[in-house]
Structure 1
Amino acid sequence: MKLLKLTSMLCFRTLTIVLLTATLAENSDEARILASVPTCSYSHQIVFRPLWKALARNGHEIVLLTADPMEEEVENIRQIDLSVGYDVMERHGYNKIISNSDEMDLSFFTKMSTIIHDISMEQLLLPDMQRLIHNKSEKFDLLMLEIAFNPHIALAEKFGIPIIGLYSMDVLNYIHNNMGNDVHPVLHAELANFAGWTQPLSFTQRIFAVLFNILMNSYGEFFVNPMMNKIIQEVFGKNSRPIEELIKETDMLFLNVNPALHPIRAVTPNTIMFGGGTHLDTVAKPLPEGIKKFLDSAPDGVIYFSLGSNVKSALIRDELRQLFLETFEELPYKVLWKFENKELPNKPDNVMIQKWVPQGDVLRHPNIKVFITQCGLQSMEEAIMNHIPLVGVPFFADQPSNAAMMANKGFGIHLDHSKLTKELFKETILEVINNRKYKDKAIEIADLFRDVEMTGLEKVVWWTEYVIRNKGAKLFRNPIIDLPFYQYYLLDVIGFVGLICFIVSFGVIKISLFLFRQAKQLISKKTKKD
């Protein structure tokens, strides 16, 4: 009898513990996060890797949709490989297009839109993606996604979850507008970004900036959004909400932007700026033996040269590549060149080519004197944090505006590759290496990056968990988002006041004319009597 009683008590206690554990687990802050960064560009991926790892360390389970899966296995992170997009880019000749692009006209944007469409479709139709989309038992607490040109935003409607938008640089005005942030066609001129203009703009530049803003808005509304909606309806169903509505439901926006580099913009509390080298490893990794030996054996110093992951040195026009080679041959420094092919014809003895370079660790090496770069934002952050001045040779996208900003801030010099000469290139490299002011400016900006109340990573992790805890962040939603265009610009009020002023003015004029005629008649009658 006692044994039976004891057994019952043990069973009861065990059941109580199990139920209590289940309740605590259910009420804990641990969440399932669906993260989407489908862009086929390594620089777009590395910015967010520290975020995924930090959230995983905090116990959150992450399903990561990525075009560049991490090589290492990370606890609590399951990756879905979307690298098929690179095959699509290869078929379209994407890298050749941007490596030889001198200007971005309408045909360039049309070609890029076609590539984005084809990449999106092939990624979404992958078996792993189809299983995710059609698995009715899947549940998530949050969608974190690269916010521009991403039909994956429809996953938020599919799973009924809040949205955090992400981007590895600043976003287009279209996204800012949908977040309720300040958008001004001159102060935030998108044409200035593509053309490399700096503020203040001239009168002619302001005219073109306003016209370009209208063109971009029209292009997005009448071409890009319909294209994205067609993808969403094909993949997620005909009754799916349009992308215009889904973007307005975005709870927060995380941008790799820092006021030490980027212009100040008035934003709402749900836009979080986390830029400033957040993606950089705090602990240096050993360099590959060949690269280390090359850098160590350079008493006069080393020039590091890389055009990034999208612009390919092997695909640039022959005369430009030859110009680089002839310039390097005349310099007293060794040159480490990230070059995609195994062979480089006419390569001087002081040049070493490498298909892949651990850039962050190379820039830490004390013998690096200058970094010649295409001016991708992540590359610039890595150089600044390691106090390396820059020579900028931009090609496309945000690179011209980054290069202009770099020159304006004073930590490098901006060159136009379409007008480059060997003499100018050599002179510029020597100027940046020998004039201490460029390095000093990089040190100054690096100090500003570090002088913050909390790191960019700590900031985005805290706000991510805030959205999870509160099942969204509608508290910070700007009511401007819901205002019609005519109400936001007070067109109805201005029209009403204008109408009243017109009526009053018209009445005053009519009365005045009537009185004038009456007075004239009286004067005329009096004159006749006299």
Structure 2
Amino acid sequence: MKTAQVFVALFTLVLYTRSTQSENILGIFSYTFGTPYKVVKPYFEALVHNGHNVTIISSKELLPDIENVRHIRVAGLDRIIEHVMNFDYSDCLYSKWKESLVASSFHYNMSHAILSDSGVQSLLQDKSEHFDMIVVEPTYSDALIGFAEHFSASLVGLSTFGSSWLTDHLAGNSAPSIYRPIQPMGYSQGDSLLDKWNNWIYISEEWLIDRLLILPGQLELFTRYFQLPTSRLLERRTSYSLMMINQHFSLGRVRSNVPNVIEVAGMHMAEPSEPLEPELLDFVNGAEHGVIYFSMGMEILNRWLPKNMEQKMMQTFAQLKQRVVWKHEEHTMVNKSDNVFLSPMASQRQLLDHPNMKLFITHGGLLSTTEAAHSGVPMLALPIYFDQFDNVERMLKMGVARKLDINTLTVELLTNNIKELLQNPIYALKAKELSTRFRDQPTTALERAIWWTEYVLRHKGAPHMRMTDHDMAFVPYYKLNILSILFGRIAFSGLVVLFACIFAINFFLKEFQKIAEAPSVFYTSI
């Protein structure tokens, strides 16, 4: 009996050891801003907690040290970041091709900074190094896929900006019905035939941008640093084992995902939020008529905003009975009214969760809209670039937000929209309903991300999760091959009939011409 118990205990121990076997995971991120690292950090902390060996290649400044993680810091990324922060975006914010040219240069420089770094090169040249999985941001960083090829590792994408046609294409989800643009400016939200045609042209244009502007530079870096033919990158970039996207169907985008696409919106909220500073907390607690929070995100500096915008915002806030917390890089401002509190970096989640919070004035960034949805706070959106327009449109459709153009702002427009959002109870009601739906999930986003990551590790890349190109190719998926046969036969039959008719008409015309030209049998001379 004791022998049997010992055997069972040993068998259980073996199973437990195998189920928690540590793997070597390499994360490579070339972000130019700090916001995406808010998603990255808790994910890798959880992997380390589960016993995996994690190495992360990143900038020196933006990602804090994670305990028990080997960090390879790339100083070149920080120099690019400094250039980005001082770059004048005014000429390219409203031109997709200009913005894409700038993006192409940035992404090339970031991939080059990583691949040329001495620490990274040491990693690549060390024959003892081994990795089971490579985790990258999938959009516009294709040269970094070479790490998966170099180490013969499975490839995982962590898309902190949500999804687009490109992430779906890379994941093997090639059904055009779910395609979304990379840069939403100019993309139609309508459902008419003209809107669909416009969007098809728009996506085709982005495909050209990817092929003509972005990919050539990434291919050049791939062949230079990994000494492999371009065909290997073109094959590998569409072989992602897992694609984690920072969104959720309850936030207004229902998708037909393939099995290897996992929604993880809210994963960044697994990190504990910083408490409010005492002075700010007292200011918020004492708000008899509620609080409005105004923030344009972590990266958008007030000096980048249109001239006189600050003055218009301050004039508007001065008329309100609500208190306003303004995320601003300065601690003071000329003509600041008493109901305004300036804070360079207030704890946004703590503010949004506060019972006195009534309205969030935001740029519409993905993390900000997700946090507002989680807290059930209505929004007044002032989108500026990239995915913000798309995020805001989803909030508008769900009835939890209103939108204004920062270039046409007036005090009257701001005041009227703020009052509408505060006084019309439908916005607060819809926001609470959205919060309830978003919170009602069987597991947290982080738990979901970790489970599927380890599933891919357990099943050696899990190729069975991915649809092949043949399964999802455009022609067979939409039965165009059958339609071509059907309509081909009809067209062939039609052509036969048409040619027969033409032949018959020509024959009879010639016969009539012969009769007309021949002497008549009834002709008699006098």
Is the counterpart of residue 225 in structure 1 residue 225 in structure 2?
A: no
TM-score for both structures, normalised by structure 2: 0.85
Task: Give 2:299's aligned residue.
Answer: 310
- Give the partner amino acid of 1:132: L
Q: Deviations over 1:20-69 (max 9, x none)?
A: x9999788521111112321222212123222122211111111223465
**Displacement of 1:173:** 0.7
Is the counterpart of residue 59 in structure 1 residue 51 in structure 2?
A: yes
- Conservation of the 8 A alpha-carbon contact between 2:96 and 2:185: no
SS class of match (1:222): helix
SS class of match (1:232): helix
Cα separation, 2, equivalents of 1:188 and 1:483 = 14
Cα separation, 2, equivalents of 1:481 and 1:154 = 25
- Give the partner amino acid of 1:431: E
Q: Percent identity?
A: 25
Task: Give 2:444's aligned residue.
Answer: 455
Task: Give 2:9's aligned residue.
Answer: none
- Conservation of the 8 A alpha-carbon contact between 1:192 and 1:209: no
- Give the partner amino acid of 1:250: Y
Task: Give 1:135's aligned residue.
Answer: 126
Number of paired residues?
A: 502
Cα separation, 2, equivalents of 1:61 and 1:46 = 20
Task: Give 1:428's aligned residue.
Answer: 417
**Displacement of 1:362:** 2.2
**Displacement of 1:284:** 5.5
Q: Deviations over 1:301-343 (max 9, x none)?
A: 3221111122212321221122112212222232221112455
Q: Unpaired runs of 5+ in structure 2?
A: 1-12
Task: Give 2:77's aligned residue.
Answer: 85
How do 1:480-519 and structure 2 match up within 5 A? Answer: 480=469, 499-510=488-499
**Displacement of 1:107:** 1.2
**Displacement of 1:495:** 5.3
- Give the partner amino acid of 1:193: P
| Bigger mean CA offset, 329-338 vs 469-478 | 329-338
- Conservation of the 8 A alpha-carbon contact between 2:166 and 2:182: no
Task: Give 1:171's aligned residue.
Answer: 163
**Displacement of 1:143:** 1.0
Cα separation, 2, equivalents of 1:495 and 1:329 = 67
Task: Give 2:181's aligned residue.
Answer: 190
Task: Give 1:35's aligned residue.
Answer: 27
Task: Give 2:64's aligned residue.
Answer: 71
Cα separation, 2, equivalents of 1:363 and 1:116 = 34
Is the counterpart of residue 478 in structure 1 residue 467 in structure 2?
A: yes
Give the number of the structure with larger relative contact order, counting CA–CA contacts within 8 Å between residues 6 or more apart: 1
Task: Give 1:339's aligned residue.
Answer: 328
Q: 2:105 aligns with which of 93, 110, 114?
A: 114
Is the counterpart of residue 291 in structure 1 residue 291 in structure 2?
A: no
SS class of match (1:78): strand
Is the counterpart of residue 104 in structure 1 residue 89 in structure 2?
A: no
Q: Deviations over 1:181-232 (max 9, x none)?
A: 24437x63528932474343x4443332222121111111122111111122
- Conservation of the 8 A alpha-carbon contact between 2:42 and 2:271: no
SS class of match (2:355): coil
- Give the partner amino acid of 2:303: A
Is the counterpart of residue 160 in structure 1 residue 152 in structure 2?
A: yes
Cα separation, 2, equivalents of 1:322 and 1:128 = 48
- Conservation of the 8 A alpha-carbon contact between 2:383 and 2:392: yes
- Give the partner amino acid of 2:77: G
Distance 1:494 1:437, change over 3 A: closer
Q: Deviations over 1:471-505 (max 9, x none)?
A: 11210221236877666666666556555444433
Cα separation, 2, equivalents of 1:284 and 1:46 = 11
TM-score for both structures, normalised by structure 1: 0.84
- Conservation of the 8 A alpha-carbon contact between 2:32 and 2:80: no
**Displacement of 1:515:** 7.3
Cα separation, 2, equivalents of 1:196 and 1:405 = 13
- Give the partner amino acid of 2:496: G
Task: Give 2:42's aligned residue.
Answer: 50
Is the counterpart of residue 369 in structure 1 residue 362 in structure 2?
A: no
Is the counterpart of residue 356 in structure 1 residue 348 in structure 2?
A: no
Q: Deviations over 1:375-420 (max 9, x none)?
A: 1111111122222211111100011111121111111211111111
Distance 1:494 1:402, change over 3 A: same
**Displacement of 1:297:** 3.5
Cα separation, 1, equivalents of 2:31 and 2:75 = 9
Distance 1:397 1:179, change over 3 A: same
Task: Give 1:278's aligned residue.
Answer: 267
- Conservation of the 8 A alpha-carbon contact between 1:327 and 1:426: yes
Task: Give 2:202's aligned residue.
Answer: 212
**Displacement of 1:259:** 1.1
Cα separation, 2, equivalents of 1:90 and 1:282 = 27
SS class of match (2:176): coil
Q: Deviations over 1:123-156 (max 9, x none)?
A: 3322322222222211111111111111221110
Cα separation, 1, equivalents of 2:507 and 2:225 = 77
| Bigger mean CA offset, 187-196 vs 432-441 | 187-196
Task: Give 1:235's aligned residue.
Answer: 225
- Give the partner amino acid of 2:70: R
Cα separation, 2, equivalents of 1:317 and 1:307 = 13
Cα separation, 1, equivalents of 2:149 and 2:263 = 26
Cα separation, 2, equivalents of 1:24 and 1:488 = 42
Cα separation, 2, equivalents of 1:104 and 1:45 = 28
Cα separation, 2, equivalents of 1:483 and 1:426 = 50
Q: 1:325 aligns with which of 310, 314, 318?
A: 314
- Give the partner amino acid of 1:168: T
